[in-house]
Amino acid sequence: MESFVTCVRLSAVTLFVCVGGYILLILGFAQLFCPESANGSLVVRSDGVVVGSRLLAQGFTAPRYFWPRPSAVGWNAAGAGGSNKSPTNPDLTVRAKGTVAAFGATPTQPLPAELAAASGSGLDPHLTERGALYQVARVAAARGLPEAEIRELVLRCAFSPGGGLTHSRLVNVLEVNLALDGAR
């Protein structure tokens, strides 16, 4: 009985400090110094409407936009997840065939693999530079703009996620699409 009372007391103290105190401390720090990312890195239009989060992919299907990687959950940001299919699962072949058709990939112009592979969260906001450049012709045609202009925009948006530590260059799909709409 004595040990039970002691344990309840320890629970109360640890709850108070490790949940109450700790959360308030980090919350205060975050909201004070990084309010933008602490609230979800939201992109807000000039009229105050939230159009998405810079960190999260959203669905794009129109030819005039760059398309993100496939999502097993339909870019659901309130229920993220991957396909959880084994890389040997024939279901993936079926899905990939659909993706190949949507992009119009051919053996001479093969699809970069990331555009056929669903991300772990279903919300991967990025493409590789290669995956974005692959879509330049379609976007340019749909917008009636010269390909060189779109290509230059992609290259301008590309960045290295690890600074000097990574070789690959990525493009944030929502940001490049916002830039496209801005350039229109």
Partner 1 sequence: MDAITLIALVVGGSAALSWPLGRYMRWAMDPITMNRPAARVDRWFRAIGGRAAQAGQDWQQYCVALLVFNVVMFSLSFGFMALQEWLPLNPDGKTALEGSLVFNTAASFTTNTNLQHYSGEVSMSHLSQLCALMWPQFVAAATGIAALTAMARGLAGRPTLGNFYVDLQRATFLVLLPMAVVVAVLNVLGGMPMTLAGAVKALTLEGPEQVIARGPVAAFVAIKQLGTNGGGFFGSNSTHPFENPGFFTSLVSTVAIVLIPMACVWMFGRVVGRVRHATVLFVVMMVLLLAKAGAAFAGENAPTQAFLGLPIAMDVSNLEGKELRFGAAAGPLWAVLTTCTSNGSVNCMHDSLNPLTGLAPMIGMWLNATFGGVGVGMINMFLYVVLAVFLAGMMVGRTPEYLNRRVEMHEVKLAVLAMFTHALFILGGTALFAASPWGAGTLNNTGAHGFSEMLYEFSSAAANNGSGFEGLGDNTVPWNVATGLVMLLARYIPILLPLAIAGSLAKKRATAQSAGTLGVESVTFGVMLLATILFLGALTFFPAAALGPVAEHLQFMK
Question: Among residues 93 and 148, whose Cβ is nearest to partner 1?
Answer: 93
Instruction: Report residue 140 as tokens.
Output: 């340019």
Q: How far is the CB of 104 from partner 1 (least distance, A)?
A: 10
Report the site for partner 1 in 134-153 (rule: CB under 8 A): none
Report the site for partner 1 in 58-117 (rule: CB under 8 A): 58-62, 65, 69, 75-93, 96-97, 100, 105-107, 109-114, 116-117
Q: How far is the CB of 83 from partner 1 (least distance, A)?
A: 7
Residues 6+ apart with CB under 8 A from 49: none
Region of 8-16, 135-143, 144-152 interacting with partner 1 (CB under 8 A): 8-16
2, 44, 156, 166 from 11: Cα distances, Å: 14, 42, 53, 44
Given a contact cutoff of 8 angstroms between Cβ atoms, the answer to whether 101 and 152 are in contact is no
Question: Among residues 122 and 153, whose Cβ is nearest to partner 1?
Answer: 122
- Angle between helix 147-157 and helix 173-183 axes, rounded to 10 deg: 140
